[in-house]
């Protein structure tokens, strides 16, 4: 079954995963709020990433840097001069488009028409244009040569292509002038680079070592119509791994494998993940690859693994005037470390998990919508449901709920028909439901229902926590 993005958006709102930000005022484009289930899912992803990166490695430490940084940081990183999108306006509809995305759309249409050679030609021109000295001019030329029309008006009446910087600005202090401009960070990575010496010295780390961070980033995305895939305010989970120059390829290969294994470990189907090699490397990188997932909008990047050479630390050395070198006590050498970066969007991972878990099935002639999350990711792990709200069943159910709450996020629900309650829990992605019924009062057994198979087994009520724990440890991920 191929999932539609609209089904994901509708379920996310209906069940309280994700809401449009400021909805009662008509919303604010490309910003979203997480509801009760969304916030739990997001926390589980963050915790899994932190455990994997920081706790699993004795040479990786965390930081939590400020969102507002000295403006020169962004000059040094290259974001002030080069962090921009090429935009073009349809003069008739007044709609604005990313020039590169217009061309990509054109390439897709050529492929659909079976014109593969022509599509490859345009693709090569696009890659060259994006890496040209003046990308705007080259992209404009492609649009002209290919006579690409506006997707909304069908017109061929374009402005020139202009570069538009994606960084949000604000001001520090009481006077809003050019001197007081600061940026909302467009990536968390720079907060790691500028703290290179602080973390290394205080945590007494020796190269190779890593610094990890989870935090908000902001980009004034122009074309942002894909739910939480592309947002203006989002979270990143980034790790910079500092190595001796020459050792970067080994580290790069190692991190590629480790990162893909993490994606499998949080339950994403292997068949839905693949590597996407970069057509052409950024000028400072000597290797780069993306982990791509097959979203309803096609194969798209979720995470990037980049070997960034000594570019960032060298630039900070140049702009700050502070040495960014490391003294290697083993070789008695002094060098600026090379960096391998792993950078993943938290919100994009949440979207990937919801899309990957989403199923519509037919059960007894009715549609069942279910989120088949890995139990370690599921927002609610267990639900306790007394069959009826009387005869002592709620009391027994509350006892079981108390036992479970010590260990698992647990939901209690005593209202409505049991079938409907199961369906609600299926939509929330809850892997286990425990039902207290008339027989419980006679022989102390309850039913344990598994979300995916919908199988129900009777177990002693004293064994509920153990039975859930067993099932989680023996969980088999879908392929
Ligand atoms: N420090 C490197 C860096 O920021 P990036 O490819 O621009 O690299 C890394 O971003 C990840 O952040 C992406 O793979 C994606 O998952 C996420 N990301 C980037 N822009 C985003 C946006 N506008 N909305 C949601 N996630 C985004």
Q: Is the CB of 301 under 6 A from ligand 1?
A: yes
Specify which residues 96 forms β-bridges with: 89
CB 236 within 8 A of CB 215: yes
Atom in ligand 1 nearest the alpha carbon of residue 219 = 23
Query: Among 326, 313, 420, which residue's Cα sits nearest to residue 369?
Result: 420
Distance CA 9, CA 32 (A): 11
**HEC per residue, 181-234:** EEEECCCCHHHHHCCHHHHHHHCCCCCCEEEEEEEEEECCCCCCCCHHHCCCEE
The third-level CATH classification (topology) of the domain covering 380-473 is: Rossmann fold (3.40.50)
CA 288 to chain CA centroid, nearest Å:
18
Give the per-residue pLDDT at 134. 86
Please, what's the b/e burial string for 240-258 (b: 16 or more CB within 10 A of its CB; e: otherwise)? bbbbbeeebeebbeebbee
Q: Atom 4 in ligand 1: which residue has the minimum CA distance? A: 187
Tell me which residues of the chain have a pLDDT lower than 50.
Answer: none
- Report residue 18 CA to chain centroid gap: 14
Give residue 179's pLDDT: 87
Q: What are phi and psi of 448, to 5 degrees?
A: -115, 115
Spacing, Cα 345 to ligand 1 middle (Å): 5
Assign domain 5-70+167-353 to its CATH architecture. 2-Layer Sandwich (3.30)
- pLDDT for res 223: 72
Does ligand 1 come within 6 angstroms of the Cβ of 79? no
Asked whether 242 and 207 are in contact (CB, 8 A), the reply is yes
Ordered DSSP codes for 231-273: -SEEEEEEEEEEE-TT-HHHHHHHHHHHHHHHHHHTT--GGGE
Find out whether 156 and 143 touch, Cβ atoms under 8 Å.
no
Distance, CA of 157 to CA of 191 (rounded, Å): 43
Cβ–ligand 1 distance for 291 under 6 Å, the answer no
> 320, 264, 321: which is closest to 291 by C-alpha?
264
Q: How far is the CA of 213 from the centre of ligand 1 (A)?
A: 14
Question: Counting atoms of ligand 1 from 1, which one is nearest the CA of 343?
Answer: 9
- Residue of 45, 268, 345 best suited for mutating to test ligand 1, as the one with most atoms within 8 Å of CB: 345
Residue nearest (by alpha carbon) to ligand 1 atom 19:
345
- Check if 90 has its Cβ closer than 6 Å to any atom of ligand 1: no
Span from the CA of 304 to the centroid of ligand 1 (angstroms):
8
Any atom of ligand 1 within 6 Å of the Cβ of 351: no
In terms of DSSP H, where are the helices of 54-163? 71-76, 79-82, 99-112, 116-130, 135-146
- The dihedral of CA 32, 38, 42, 43: what is its sign? positive
| Residue 133 to residue 163: CA distance in whole angstroms | 12
Write down the architecture of domain 84-165 according to CATH.
Answer: 2-Layer Sandwich (3.30)
Instruction: Report helix, strand and coil shares of the chain as percent, to nearest 5.
Output: 40, 25, 35
Position 2 scores a pLDDT of 77
Question: What's the token pair of residue 328?
Answer: 């290697």
Query: Ligand 1 center to residue 396 CA distance, Å?
Result: 48
Residue 131: its pLDDT value, please? 82
Domain boundaries in the chain?
A: 5-70+167-353, 84-165, 380-473
Predicted TM-score (pTM) of this structure:
0.92
For residue 51, the 8-state DSSP code is: I
Distance between Cα 364 and ligand 1 center (Å): 43
Atom of ligand 1 nearest to the CA of 349: 16
Is the minimum distance from the CB of 344 to ligand 1 under 6 angstroms? yes
pLDDT at 1: 56
Residue 246's nearest CA partner among 299, 307, 164, 296 is 307
Pocket of ligand 1 contains residue 235 by CB under 6 Å: no
């Amino acid at each position: 079954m191929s999932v539609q993005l609209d089904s994901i958006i509708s379920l996310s709102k209906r069940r309280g995963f994700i809401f449009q930000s400021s909805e009662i005022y008509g919303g604010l484009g490309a910003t979203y709020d997480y509801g009760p289930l969304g916030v739990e899912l997001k926390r589980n992803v963050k915790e899994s990433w932190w455990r994997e990166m920081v706790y699993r490695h004795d040479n990786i430490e965390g930081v939590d840097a400020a969102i507002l940084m000295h403006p020169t940081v962004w000059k040094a990183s290259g974001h002030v001069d080069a962090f921009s999108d090429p935009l073009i306006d349809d003069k008739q509809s007044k709609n604005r488009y990313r020039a590169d995305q217009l061309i990509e759309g054109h390439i897709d249409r050529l492929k659909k028409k079976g014109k593969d050679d022509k599509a490859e030609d345009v693709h090569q021109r696009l890659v060259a244009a994006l890496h040209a000295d003046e990308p705007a001019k080259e992209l404009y030329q492609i649009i002209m040569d290919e006579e690409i029309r506006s997707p909304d008006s069908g017109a061929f009446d374009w402005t020139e292509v202009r570069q538009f910087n994606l960084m949000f600005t604000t001001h520090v202090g009481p006077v809003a002038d050019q001197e007081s401009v600061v940026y909302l960070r467009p990536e968390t990575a720079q907060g790691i680079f500028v703290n290179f010496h602080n973390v290394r010295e205080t945590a007494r780390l020796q190269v190779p070592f890593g610094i990890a961070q989870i935090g908000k980033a902001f980009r004034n995305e122009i074309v942002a119509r894909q739910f939480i895939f592309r947002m203006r305010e989002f979270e990143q989970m980034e790790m910079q791994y500092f190595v001796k120059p020459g050792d970067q390829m080994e580290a790069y290969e190692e991190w590629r494998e480790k990162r893909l294994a993490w994606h499998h470990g949080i339950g994403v189907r292997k068949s839905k993940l693949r590597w996407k090699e970069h057509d052409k490397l950024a000028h400072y990188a000597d290797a780069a690859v993306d982990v791509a997932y097959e979203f309803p909008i096609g194969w798209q990047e979720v995470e990037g693994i980049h070997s960034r050479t000594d570019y960032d630390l060298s630039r900070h050395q140049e702009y700050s005037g502070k040495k960014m070198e490391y003294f290697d006590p083993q070789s008695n050498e002094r060098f600026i470390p090379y960096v391998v970066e792993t950078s993943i969007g938290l919100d994009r991972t949440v979207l990937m998990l919801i899309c990957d878990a989403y199923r519509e099935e037919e059960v007894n002639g009715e549609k069942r919508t279910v989120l088949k999350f890995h139990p370690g990711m599921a927002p609610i792990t267990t639900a306790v449901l007394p069959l009826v709200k009387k005869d002592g069943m709620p009391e027994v159910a509350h006892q079981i709920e108390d036992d479970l709450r010590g260990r698992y996020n647990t939901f209690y629900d005593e209202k409505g028909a049991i079938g409907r309650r199961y369906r609600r829990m299926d939509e929330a992605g809850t892997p286990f439901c425990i039902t207290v019924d008339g027989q419980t009062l006679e022989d102390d057994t309850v039913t344990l229902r598994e979300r995916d198979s919908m199988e129900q087994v009777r177990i002693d009520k004293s064994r509920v926590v153990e039975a859930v724990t067993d099932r989680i440890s023996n969980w088999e991920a879908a392929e």
